[in-house]
Chains A and B, each alone.
Chain A
Amino acid sequence: MQLGRTRCLSECRILLLPPEFQRSSRDLLKQPAPEDTVTASFGKFISEIKPQHLSPVVLHRSKRMVLDSIGVGLIGSTTDVFELALQHCQNMYAPGDTSSVYGHRGIRLSPILAAFVNGVATHSMDFDDTWHPATHPSGAVLPAVLALSDMMPANNKPSGLDFLLAFNVGIEIQGRLLRFSNEAHNIPKRFHPPSVVGTMGSAAACACLLSLDPIQSSHALAIAASLAGAPMANAATQSKPLHIGNASRLGLEAALLASRGLEASPLVLDAVAGVAGFSAFYEDYVPQPLQSPGNDSHMFLLEEQDIGFKRFPAHLGMHWVADAAASVHKVLVGVGPGTVSPAQVEDILLRVPKSKYINRPFPESEHEARHSFQFNACTALLDGEVTVQSFTPAAMSRPDLHALLSRVRLEHPNDNPANFNRMYGEVQLTLVGGDTVKGRCNTFYGHWRNPLSNDSLRKKFRSNAEVALPSEKVERLIEVVEDLDQLRDCRNLLSQLQ
């Protein structure tokens, strides 16, 4: 095959261009062999990973994630946005009889739609887990794996260990993809991360559960890439939970399409000059192949980097200011009449990272309130804590709260980056009379550096799950998830969800 004049021209360009350009044009001239691509390595990993590759730490941490995710999904199934999503599915489609819907006995939907509504439920209150680099990993994966398990024939249901493996594959793929770019390490500005990596994680998890071969698995990822990506502008609106719902359902769809032989780009994860694949979602993108486990163990990212669980249903950044404000509240209450009154307060200064979509001085909806430094700080100042109840219309419309909100200023110190691994929250109250009280939080309780104890996690689960299920089912769920890796048949899990 002759490149003729073309090669000559390209070589001339190589001489004249700065180094970073030269590298890229040399890449153009040589195509990687199919087996050497990043995309193929991901497909191979998904297909070849085995349950024995799951270490005790990974098993323990992922079971905690499964429990928390089910809990927030159950409480989320009582929200308006969930109702809307469910109504949509029931209007648009005939009742399925396959997959269960969180907390709604008697309602079953086809697997794709169940994954959708359960994903919406999981993220509906922004109460679900958060990882570093930033995304909400479990909500995109668990609903799809549950729905798919319901779909498998009765005599071939996955064991608890198969289930956990698929779940962990979905998490691992997300973590690997997030490490392909520096942009991913900071609080997102353009694409909502769960809509980007979550879809891919769901596809990977479902490909694993469906036992797709390496090539089908990589096509599942490629098909999913064409379904990924939603803009940040819809965060802090009622549509945000659909990002997770869609990630879950579309990843499952991608895997099902791949299982039927649909093919897509075999280079979707690779950095191909001039043709954007998964790189389309990032400004900087340097993919790395994934090592296949072989006979040795595989170091899952979850082992190196734990998850953060939320103590109240709001964007993760709120947890720092809430803890800082709570400590200020404690000081004031200790010395004063036992409550904090706006009349005492002259000025409230919050030192927080710069991030437009969580800077809302006067939030008007619960969705906005969950994404407002100001709202969460003032709530914690008033009440000593932020809870599920803090976002009800009654709580949101309190005059005392509004009085405090009008006294808030924000500062963005240079040493406070928009990064969940390095940020802090500081609250400085100036009282009428001139005294100041300061509180600072570097690591809130629930952050991966200061993880929730098993007791705290179960307490959160019970308080969430009991809104939707009777207490016997709640306790049984705790037991089943605790022993998930020993379970011979995951039907014991599936039957407790509604």
Chain B
Amino acid sequence: MMLDTLGVGLLGTRTAVFNKALKYSQLFTSRERSSVWGQSDIILPPHYAAFVNGIAVHSMDFDDTWHPATHPSGAVLPALLALVETLPSQPSGLDLLLAFNVGIEVQGRLMRFSKEAYNIPERYQFWKYFQLWMKEGETNHGPLCPFRFHPPSVVGVMGSAAASAKLLRLSPEQCIHALAIAASSAGAPLANAATQTKPLHIGNAARRGLEAARLAQIGLKGNPAILDLDRGLGVYYKDYSPSAMADSAVRAYKWILEDQDVAFKRIPTHLGMHWVVDAALAAREKLQNAVGKFDLSQIRHVTLRVPPSKYVNCPLPATEHQARHSFQFNACTALLDNKVTVASFGDAQIGRSAMKELLGKVSLETPEDNLPSFDKMYCEVEIATHQGPSYTARCDTFYGHWRKPLTLKHLVEKFSVNASSVLCTEGVERVIDVIGNIERVADCSILGSYLRMTRNQERLDRMRIL
């Protein structure tokens, strides 16, 4: 998870949203300084380093996804790495790894406090609310929005606070207050997903969790029952029933990550797109095998059978952010190019006439048995041709999902491709080496310096040698 996060973060430092956040963050200076990934000569106050690096991680929607749904690593790793560079105590790689896992574990635990958390944001559950209406008569549940807050903005900041508190070695009481303070920084509405601001949800989670831990460290107090109360963390959920953690003093502690792995993305899009892409590629292959040659003009109509989720149902995306959250766009890219990559989301790709033409032939269906859950959903793509026959393919589990994890080789490959766009070869290799052997690293602050070994520097070094 750490390797993948660093890779997508490095790639993300070349995005427009990252640049805007970086320019803004350079208003601030401090004595403590932390590295900005992929920038050889810019350093920022730790909170703002956490902010911009977190934004980089989520800037292309390329970061890891868990079940129940959130993007766990981007909220935690940037905060920890920023903190590591400021601590006089020089934490070891194992300290970092432990704090990281605390941040992930806390997020997983909190998400299990609510059934609402198990589903991806839905359009409506018409029938569920109809039943509720029948049962309760006049409800004061307003607009039918079962899912209101972007999950990383709720649990991510808590994870960041927990991880930072761990690395800072706060007392149990201080840790509680770190969580309480962080809760007051949680919660961003879903409407900003699929916009340029979405990456800030992760950036802010990282930064404000770190801030909460530091405020707790100097003695600020919040409500010690923050996780217990409906008017505490419960405000972010419609159903909320917390349960206490088992005593971790027991030797063998069962981490959620052992039972439930994360998914790594192969393309920089919302996770749901991975199913539709794999199905579209398979359907395309069927057509090609049957007819001998794939030709766009053969396509009369394309039907996508997907789970109901309004914010990834975008028939005609206009921006890269919308395109990353569009079943239709990703299916069409797969059909047009026989692949979907990082490069598929540029303005030229979005605006090409072939894309617009094909998008016009796409319709969505939301079958009853297709549940809006990353654990249960599927995608089916049916290509209807002018000649008559239809070619259908279905994807239940895409490659990279926790049921079908990426091999280590492919994970490292993804990292190398991403990181090489920003770092020199030596930097890429050193990061792989450090993360691979993190338990044995004595002082993990060196990671920050490797993340600054950019390609420009290498060119300069080469020139000097000559």
Which residues of chain A have a CB within 8 Å of any CB of chain B? Answer: 1-6, 9, 13, 17-18, 21, 24-25, 28, 81, 84-85, 87-88, 91-94, 110, 112, 181-183, 189-192, 195, 222-223, 225-234, 236-239, 242-243, 246, 253, 256-257, 260-265, 267-268, 271-286, 356-357
> Which of these binds chain A: B309-317, B334-342, B422-430?
B309-317
30 residue pairs A–B, Cβ–Cβ below 8 Å:
A6-B365, A17-B130, A21-B124, A28-B310, A84-B215, A84-B220, A85-B220, A88-B214, A93-B45, A110-B27, A110-B28, A222-B191, A222-B197, A226-B189, A226-B200, A229-B188, A233-B183, A234-B183, A237-B180, A238-B222, A239-B181, A256-B27, A267-B191, A275-B193, A275-B311, A276-B148, A277-B191, A278-B189, A280-B187, A285-B143
> CB < 8 Å: which of B24, B153, B362 contacts A260?
B24
Smallest CB gap from B230: residue in A: A190
Which residues of chain B have a CB within 8 Å of any CB of chain A? Answer: 17, 20-21, 23-24, 27-32, 45-47, 121-124, 126, 129-130, 133, 140-145, 147-150, 153, 180-181, 183-193, 195-197, 200-201, 204, 211, 214-215, 218-223, 225-226, 229, 231-236, 301, 303, 310-311, 315-316, 359-365
Q: Which residues of A sit under 8 angstroms from B193, Cβ to Cβ?
A: 275
Smallest CB gap from A89: residue in B: B30
Smallest CB gap from B222: residue in A: A239
Smallest CB gap from B141: residue in A: A283
B364/A6 in contact, CB under 8 A: yes
A275/B153 in contact, CB under 8 A: no
8 further A-B pairs in the complex, CB-CB below 8 A; given A13-B126, A231-B234, A239-B181: A81-B220, A229-B186, A230-B186, A234-B183, A253-B24, A265-B191, A279-B148, A284-B140
Q: Which residues of A sit under 8 angstroms from B196, Cβ to Cβ?
A: 262-264
A246/B184 in contact, CB under 8 A: yes
Q: Which residues of B sit under 8 angstroms from A274, Cβ to Cβ?
A: 121-124, 144-145, 310-311
A232/B142 in contact, CB under 8 A: no
> CB < 8 Å: which of A190, A225, A263, A284 contacts B191?
A225
Q: B34 → chain A, closest Cβ, in Å?
A: 11
Q: B207 → chain A, closest Cβ, in Å?
A: 11
For the complex of A and B, 9 pairs with smallest distance between CB atoms = A277-B191, A233-B232, A280-B148, A230-B184, A264-B197, A226-B188, A4-B363, A274-B310, A284-B142
A-B contacts, CB under 8 A, total: 258
Q: Which residues of A sit under 8 angstroms from B153, Cβ to Cβ?
A: 226
Q: How far is the CA of A277 from the CA of B121 in the complex (A)?
A: 13
A239/B221 in contact, CB under 8 A: yes
A230/B195 in contact, CB under 8 A: no
Q: How far is the CA of A283 from the CA of B148 in the complex (A)?
A: 10
B197/A231 in contact, CB under 8 A: no
Smallest CB gap from B215: residue in A: A88
> CB < 8 Å: which of A81, A238, A276, A285 contacts B190?
A276
Q: B94 → chain A, closest Cβ, in Å?
A: 27
Q: Which residues of A sit under 8 angstroms from B24, Cβ to Cβ?
A: 253, 256-257, 260
Smallest CB gap from B153: residue in A: A226
Given contacts A239-B180, A239-B181, A268-B192, whether A21 and B223 have CB atoms under 8 Å apart is no
B46/A92 in contact, CB under 8 A: yes
Q: How far is the CA of A281 from the CA of B149 in the complex (A)?
A: 9
Q: Which residues of B sit under 8 angstroms from A81, Cβ to Cβ?
A: 220
A276/B191 in contact, CB under 8 A: yes
B310/A231 in contact, CB under 8 A: no
Smallest CB gap from A87: residue in B: B218
Q: Which residues of A sit under 8 angstroms from B185, Cβ to Cβ?
A: 230, 246
Q: How far is the CA of A3 from the CA of B148 in the complex (A)?
A: 26
B23/A279 in contact, CB under 8 A: no
Q: How far is the CA of A451 from the CA of B145 in the complex (A)?
A: 40
A225/B189 in contact, CB under 8 A: yes
Given contacts A6-B363, A84-B218, A274-B310, whether A264 and B192 have CB atoms under 8 Å apart is yes
